[in-house]
Amino acid sequence: MPVIRLFAQAREAAGVGRDVVEGTTVDEVLAAARERYGAAFADVLGTCGIWVNGEPADGGHPVGPDDEVAVLPPVSGG
């Protein structure tokens, strides 16, 4: 199963920074994560960028057991 890595607000909302989540596409992995981590995580997820193995990915991107799906909230700073 793919590994999901969560950063910043996504990590806070889920209560974990790394987990193994079932799915064969990015959309399936994120749906399983929303179900597992609840409404607060789902709210944050809408603002996040999704990357697979260090590259930007869309929902239909396939993932396998050796892949890492990263959830990256927007970064602000000055």
Q: What string of H, E and C letters represents the secondary structure of 8-22?
A: HHHHHHHCCCEEECC
Q: What is the pLDDT of residues 34-58, one digit of tens each?
A: 999 999 999 999 999 999 999 999 9
Query: In terms of pTM, does the model score above 0.85?
Result: yes
Going by pLDDT thresholds of 50, 70 and 90, the confidence category of residue 17 is: very high
CATH of domain 3-72: 3.10.20.30
Give the bridge partners for 8, in sequence order: none
Closest CA to 48 of 16, 6, 3: 6
Domain ranges of the chain: 3-72
Nearest C-alpha neighbor of 28 from the set 53, 54, 62: 62
How far apart (Å, rounded) are the C-alpha atoms in residues 33 and 41?
8
Are residues 71 and 45 in contact, defined by beta-carbon separation less than 8 angstroms?
A: yes
